Amino acid sequence: MRILHLSSNIKFGGSEQQLIHLVEASDKKNVKNYIFCFDTSELNIFKDQTKAIFFNHPKRKIYSFELLKRLNQIVKQEKIDLIHIHNGKFILTFMLSNILFNLKCKAIFSKKDMSRSSSLFSKIKYNYSGIYKTTCVTEAIKKRFQKILYKKNHHKLIVIRDGININELEKNKAKEKNILKSSNDKIIIGNIANHVRAKGLKTFILTIDYLVNVKKIKNIQFIQIGRFTNLTDEINQMIIEKDLTNYIELKGFIQNGHEFLPQFDYFMMTSESEGMPLTILESLYYEVPVITTNVGGIPEVILHKHNGMLADSNDFKSLANNLLELIDDTSLRKKVKENGLKTILDNFDSTIMAEQTIKIYKEAILN
């Protein structure tokens, strides 16, 4: 089975990490994987780390004839059985290339985020007949995406949850890494998120402010890992205004930043919008208690006081109090750790995700 994966993103994020997990897991099940991306994509760092064959192309408009022609060449040359589209932009590339060159293979599309795009153009693209199935990472995304698809295409929606490479995470436990400057007697709370508004980092700062300046909790240290953006200056200004410079370290982007998760005592996510963050799944595996907002697909994984702690979006007081409850209640902390690990082992191993995806591949190729 020959699968061509299309990824239009330049930066490496959760969608790209899932693509790599899928490639690694499906390779063990006799799937030959090809990856088509732009030559400036950060995905290219995995060229020598996976068995997938990479095809690069200079960045072009997604509807450029040069790009459409190149896709056709790869499909015909490599005798591709199915195309797996990992970002919505490349749906148009597939659609136009198929119309012009008759690619003679179907595609599936993976929907990872909670975008609300519903323009006429989006409807035409997402409802294209050449897309056999759309896999949604959560039930919440599936429900929202139904509003974009015509009713006759609702049957094409299927939920396949993200998976994590447990073997790789296990190896990471043995790695000696140190991201912490603070003294060992402090409680370390981590956050991994790029500096974009959807990640709710202002709520993150307000939560720290409430803990330090209202609740007077001083034996804590917050570590924030994520790509700096034009929002970073606002975040830094909040930290200075609230006199929190001794309590939070902004580390910026760190390659494989998730590898530092085992060093955290707790993981806190304050997002306003999410699909299904891999960092939450990885934290659960490492038995790092999770305090998070109940947005997107997160409540489909985290059950309050069962395997983590949930609060409403922007509710910094509840986020802070949830953390304090975990710190103070040893039995609750033990419970969420044990249940968190069980959640991952039972439902979120990348081999499970790969098996479900391969089943769709086979179905699409045979029909």
In the chain the domains, ranked by start, together with CATH numbers, are 2-163+349-366 (3.40.50.2000), 168-347 (3.40.50.2000)
Rounded distance, CA 314 to CA 272, Å? 7
Closest residue by Cα to residue 265 from 175, 331, 180: 180
Rounded distance, CA 198 to CA 25, Å? 30
| Sequence-distant (≥ 6) Cβ neighbours of residue 366 within 8 angstroms | none
Model pLDDT, residue 276: 84
pLDDT at 31 over 60: yes
Share of the chain above pLDDT 70, in %: 95
Model pLDDT, residue 259: 86
Please write the tens of the pLDDT for every residue from 255-299. Answer: 888 888 999 999 999 999 888 888 999 999 999 999 999 998 899
Model pLDDT, residue 274: 87
Sign of CA dihedral 304, 285, 11, 101: negative
Q: Which residue has the tokens 């069962």?
A: 306
When pLDDT is averaged across residues 44-48 and rounded to a whole number, the result is 91
Model pLDDT, residue 61: 93
Task: Grade residue 177 by pLDDT with cuts at 50, 70 and 90.
Answer: low
The burial class, CB within 10 Å (0-12 / 13-18 / 19+), for 44 is middle
225 pairs with which residues across the strands? 192, 252
pLDDT at 179 over 70: no
Model pLDDT, residue 243: 97
Three-state DSSP at 289 gives coil
When pLDDT is averaged across residues 183-212 and rounded to a whole number, the result is 93
Is residue 280 within 8 Å of 302, Cβ to Cβ? yes
When pLDDT is averaged across residues 334-362 and rounded to a whole number, the result is 94
DSSP-derived letter for residue 297 is: T
Model pLDDT, residue 12: 87
DSSP-derived letter for residue 51 is: S
Rounded distance, CA 341 to CA 327, Å? 19
Model pLDDT, residue 225: 95
Model pLDDT, residue 15: 87
Sign of CA dihedral 150, 151, 152, 157: positive
Of 93 and 174, the one with more pLDDT: 93
Rounded distance, CA 137 to CA 234, Å? 32
310 pairs with which residues across the strands? 292
Convert 53-70 to b/e letters by CB count within 10 Å (16 or more is b). ebbbbeeeebeeeebbeb
Share of the chain above pLDDT 90, in %: 78
What's the CA dihedral at 287, 292, 295, 298 to 10 degrees?
10
Task: Grade residue 180 by pLDDT with cuts at 50, 70 and 90.
Answer: low
Rounded distance, CA 131 to CA 155, Å? 12
User: Pairing state of beta strands 131-136 and 106-111?
Assistant: parallel
Model pLDDT, residue 181: 56
